[in-house]
Amino acid sequence: MAKTITFSIQKGGVSKTTTTGIVAHLMSEEGKKVLVVDMDSQGNVSNLLTGLEQDEYEDETIMDAFRENNARKYIIKASENIDVLPADDFLAHFPEWIYTKYAPPGTGDKKVRALRELLAPLQDDYDFVLVDTPPSLSEQTTNALVTSDYAVILAESSKWAYTAITRFINTTEVAKTVNPNLKVLGILRNMNDSRRYDSKAFVEIIGESFPDLVFGTVIKRKAATGRLSIYGFTDNKEIKEAISEYEDFYEELKKRMGIESKGKKRGLKKKLARLKDFSLKTDK
Ligand SMILES: Nc1ncnc2c1ncn2[C@@H]1O[C@H](COP(=O)(O)OP(=O)(O)OP(=O)(O)O)[C@@H](O)[C@H]1O
Ligand SMILES: [Mg+2]
């Protein structure tokens, strides 16, 4: 039975898609089978993981899957362990489809259960299902939360991301009335620019406001991470650097889901490197 995680907040450009893609990649490297569900009509996570542009999978998207109630038909294999249910601009029809076809007035909370119903037959095929969501609150977001075991909140170090956190937590509370299993795993402070006073200040303000929710790891704003959108998960030094930035967060994420880590190789390497520096300094 897959565990489903939604990466979200009603704020744009805070690294929701990049984080979803990197977590999928880290999971796949551990041999986990991952389905990434693109619930954003921008289709960015579809592009990041498959390398395909929207015109290369036109009429073969998650919106088509909804209309036919058949997800399997539209899944794209992105790599050995990662499958993607891709989105394109056509997903803009999702609310209209919900209210006119899937859950007309009088059908109660059916309107937030479409994604849950679509993914139900796939639950035994994957270890994890990761859902990327659009920047503003929408039927896509509420459907994602009602489908999920967990939500991860993304927050850039900025005022409008900060003020969106409480609103997103309120959104999860509403989703819990339909899906009581939903748990907010935490807030990932992202795209921090330590050279900027205001960026550093918001890292602290978010930490002080949500001490029980923030992850200890803070992700830096790095050119290498931004370039992931250009190169995808290719085997080069810069991309490796971008991915390694997320490794400590990934360990925290697993811990909060109650998943035992299979040993932190990188942590051990780091410790040994420090020991080497120490002996160089003292053995003179
Ligand atoms: N840690 C980072 N450092 C530098 N650039 C980053 C980082 N994370 C993401 N980016 C870049 O910032 C931009 C926004 O990131 P991304 O698209 O992942 O955010 P998003 O929250 O999914 O945006 P949207 O709300 O539009 O869906 C992208 O150009 C991405 O490549
Ligand atoms: Mg996005």
The total number of residues written for the chain in this structure: 284
> Distance, CA 1 to ligand 2 centroid (Å)?
26
Angstrom distance (rounded) from CA 147 to CA 172: 12
> Concatenated DSSP letters for 78-103?
-SSSEEEE---GGGGGHHHHIIIIIS
pLDDT tens for 104-135 read 999 999 999 999 999 999 999 999 999 999 99
Instruction: Pick the range with the lowest mean pLDDT from 114-128, 181-195, 260-274.
Output: 260-274
Compare 4 and 278 and report the one with higher pLDDT.
Answer: 4
- Predicted TM-score (pTM) of the model is 0.92
Predicted local distance difference test score (pLDDT) of residue 284: 42
Q: Residue 249's closest CA among 65, 74, 22?
A: 22
For the CA atoms of 235, 191, 149, 184, what is the dihedral angle to 10 degrees?
Answer: 160
Ligand 1 centroid to Cα of residue 277, in Å, is: 35
φ, ψ at 232 (rounded to 5°) = 70, -165
**How far is the centre of ligand 2, averaged over its atoms, from the C-alpha of 75 (Å)?**
19
What mean pLDDT do residues 17-38 have?
98
Domains contained in the chain, CATH given: 3-282 (3.40.50.300)
Confidence band (pLDDT; 50, 70, 90) for 219?
very high
Cα–Cα distance, 154 to 132 (Å, whole number): 11
Q: What is the pLDDT of residue 272?
A: 54
Q: What's the pLDDT tens digit per position in 46-76?
A: 999 999 999 999 999 999 999 999 999 999 9
Q: What is the pLDDT of residues 87-108, one digit of tens each?
A: 999 999 999 999 999 999 999 9
Considering only 190-194, 223-227, 277-281, which range has the smallest mean pLDDT? 277-281
Question: In the prediction, which pLDDT does 230 show?
Answer: 92
User: Is pLDDT at 173 greater than 80 in this prediction?
Assistant: yes
Q: Is the CB of 15 under 6 A from ligand 1?
A: yes
As a whole number, mean pLDDT of residues 192-217 equals 91
Closest ligand 1 atom, residue 44 Cα: 17
Q: Which residues surround ligand 2, an ion (CB under 5 A)?
A: 16-17, 44
Classify the C-alpha dihedral 7-12-18-19 as positive or negative: negative
Decide which of 50 and 271 is more confident: 50
Cβ 232 under 6 angstroms from ligand 1 = no
Say if ligand 1 is within 6 A of residue 18 CB.
yes
If pLDDT is split at 50, 70 and 90, which confidence band does 257 have? very high
The answer to whether 6 touches 150, Cβ cutoff 8 Å, is: yes
